[in-house]
A = this chain, B = another copy of it.
Amino acid sequence: MSTNKGKERDEREYFSKDEGSQYSLHGILPPLGATARTNRRAKLSRCVISPFNPRYRIWQSYLVLLVFYTAWVSPFEFGFLDRPRVPLAVIDNVVNAFFAVDIVVTFFVAYLDKTTYLLIDNPQLIAKRYAKTWLVLDIVSTIPSEVARAILPPHFKTYGYFTILRLWRLRRVSAMFARLEKDRRYSYFWVRYSKLICVTLFTVHFAGCIFYFLAAHYRDPTRTWFGAATENFREQSLWVRYVTSMYWSIVTLTSIGYGDLHPVNSVEMVFDIFYMLFILGLQAYLIGNMTNLVVHGTARTRQFRDTIQAATGFAQRNQLPERLQEQMLAHLCLKFRTDSEGLQQQETLDALPKAIRSSISHFLFYSLVDNVYLFRGVSNDLLFQLVSEMKAEYIPPKEDIILQNEAPTEMYILVTGAVDLIRKANGVEQVVGVVNTGDVFGEIGVLCYRPQPFTVRTKRLTQLLRLNRTAFLNIVQANVGDGTIIINNLLQANLQSLETNFC
């Protein structure tokens, strides 16, 4: 029983808490209608860790931090150092040790089979898959460069090439960004921006280091991009050499190309050609992403402006009276504001299944509807069903909700705010009543099916619950007893007014 509970909690975690684990579903979703075809194991075997284990996730995040260090240090060592130097060499080996531990750990982490979408926890299969895919590259990129120098023939520039191999670890950063983009705890915009900035900075750094490497190892130092501009550039301080390399790299990347530094020999030209081709794609990628974010970020405001413009144009063209124009604009502005607040109530609710929607309505409106005089004494069942059909709405001040003589299609419950009942006689509007919070209006028209006797106009910002006539009647018809109670409630409350109007 407890293991079952544990499993359920696990699944739950995949869904609601740990949004980053976008693969988790794959192991769970069976094909449609396939009761007997899949044979999912209920529990991972001992000693094997789930890839969605929170502690394993933290370990992975920590390794990503180390990768950022590697991404900076590997090109730097390749370009500017000929052999291990003290502070960096020590840190490098500590970092290598962590990645060595991760190689061992990976043998005990279950994986998802891409074809069957099952979580595989057989240690043999895990080992086989790892051996087939990334094991060799992981091991090679973990060998300390001192060891490599000792083993390999000396004329190999092994130090540099070995450090460059460590960039293999960058795949982890890429995977991390793909995960963060789908994680609702982080802003999509900032994740994208960070990714673009990381890619750009790494490109600049990497190309700068390679450029320096080419200049430093060319047979004729004066025929290099650095030597042609600065004599004896190798005797400059490390800081000046590094800054100059970065400077050239970024002058090229931004396609500014002042020209004070430029490739001189064929080798540099060839590297620069490839760098420039890459830049062409990178620039387009940066711009494409930025455009995407700008378009997405301004969509709502643009849409609002279009609506407002169309409404204003329509009103002016047809010379609508001032009051109607103001009502139109106030309504549209209010709608946009409630939407841009991130509510977008209706769309959000519509995307949910009926049961959740009902629960929400019940939570928000039940106690309110329960106190309405019309529903005094009716069964809980009916109230529950009515509440599910209600829609909340905000209405700006001075807007007409119901017009006198209109065919009745909706009734309303006032949640907050205030509305006036207005009767027009001989062209003069006269306020004949006020609706209080928690009162219902429009019910006489709906229940007796006759034109609305009053115009109803908001006095201030008002929140209403709207109930459609057809939905209301359908529910009441299925609960005959309750229907009678409602009619009685109506008659008692409106006896006088109904007598004069004859329902």
Contact = CB atoms under 8 A, between A and B. Distances in A.
A256 interface: yes
Given A258-B259, A343-B313, A15 B405 contact: no
Contact of A341 (B29, B269, B359, B400): B29
A327 B356 contact: yes
A398 interface: yes
A317 B341 contact: yes
Contacts of A290: 281, 284-285, 287-288
Interface in A309-328: 309-314, 317-321, 324, 326-328
A438 interface: yes
A392 interface: yes
Interface stretch (A55-63, A270-278, A483-491): A270-278
A224 interface: no
Given A285-B294, A291-B295, A337-B22, A406 B310 contact: no
B35 A368 contact: yes
A333 B21 CA distance: 11
A87 interface: no
Contacts of A288: 287, 290-295
Interface string A149-166: 000000000000000000
A407 interface: yes
Interface string A18-48: 0100100110111111110100000000000
A31 to B, nearest CB: 5
Given A342-B314, A343-B314, A273 B247 contact: yes
A254 interface: yes
A16 interface: yes
A30 B416 contact: yes
Contact of A352 (B31, B331, B354): B331
A378 B392 CA distance: 37
A317 to B, nearest CB: 6
B437 A449 contact: no
A54 to B, nearest CB: 17
Contacts of A262: 258-260
Contacts of A363: 320-321, 324
Contact of A15 (B254, B313, B330, B358): B330
A262 B305 CA distance: 44
Given A273-B246, A333-B15, A385-B405, A343 B293 contact: no
Given A293-B288, A302-B188, A354-B409, A397 B15 contact: yes
Interface in A50-73: none
Q: Which of A11, A330, A416 has the most CB of B within 10 A?
A: A416
A291 B297 CA distance: 13
A305 B396 contact: no
A269 B254 contact: no
Contacts of A292: 288, 291, 294-295, 298, 302
A222 to B, nearest CB: 15
Interface stretch (A78-86, A118-126, A137-145, A455-463): A455-463
B33 A356 contact: no
A220 to B, nearest CB: 14
A173 interface: no
A478 B463 contact: no
A344 B291 contact: no
Contact of A280 (B254, B266, B280): B254
A372 interface: no
Contact of A257 (B259, B286, B437): B259
Contacts of A272: 247, 251
Interface string A391-404: 01011111111110
A239 interface: yes
Interface string A166-196: 0000000000000001101000100000000
Contact of A318 (B15, B32, B400): B32
Interface in A367-394: 368, 380-381, 384-385, 388, 392, 394
26 contacts: A7-B460, A16-B330, A30-B463, A31-B318, A32-B317, A33-B415, A34-B416, A182-B305, A184-B312, A243-B273, A247-B269, A260-B262, A280-B286, A284-B289, A285-B294, A288-B292, A307-B351, A310-B348, A320-B360, A324-B363, A332-B351, A354-B410, A355-B399, A381-B451, A384-B406, A388-B406
